[in-house]
Amino acid sequence: IIIFTLVIFIFTGIFRHFQLERLKNFFVVESKKSYIKDRFDVAESLFRFGPEKYDESELIFENILGKEPGRFEVYPFLGSIYSYKNEYSKLINLWNQALRYFPEKEVVFINLGKSYYEAGDYRNALIVWNKIKNNKTAQELIDVVNRNRKILK
């Protein structure tokens, strides 16, 4: 009976330990989600104040993507900031990163192509847009680039 009681006591202690660890992990994950959402809300609010708050907003958005690069809603905000600041290499890298996480989203291809276009790299812009040339917006952008190239010749 003593051995049986000891085994039950040990088993119960181990079981409680695992339950507490699972509960602790749950709260850590939930707290992280809440923290990221709160940070996103702050960055979005700063962004909406306009260019004078872009630097602060940029730091927060970059921090969020550093922790959770799969948060699609961050990419358009950060892309707008990089575009405004004419930071084309950052803009291109951003949308290439988005493409790794969201290869099914045509808007990522559109924005990556626009990033190349803004940087003056029309060849790569066309390459990207031609990957989704059945998309109406992509086709319109391809047509604009081709028309402009004919005019410049």
Out of 27-36, 47-56, 73-82, give the one with best mean pLDDT: 73-82
Q: Give per-residue pLDDT as tens, 135-147.
A: 999 999 999 998 8
Helices (H), the chain: 2-48, 54-67, 74-84, 88-101, 106-118, 122-130, 136-152
Query: What average pLDDT does the structure give for the chain?
Result: 85
What pTM does this model have?
0.75
pLDDT recorded at residue 27: 45
What is the mean predicted confidence (pLDDT) over 66-86?
A: 95
The pair phi, psi for residue 72, each rounded to 5°, is: -60, -35
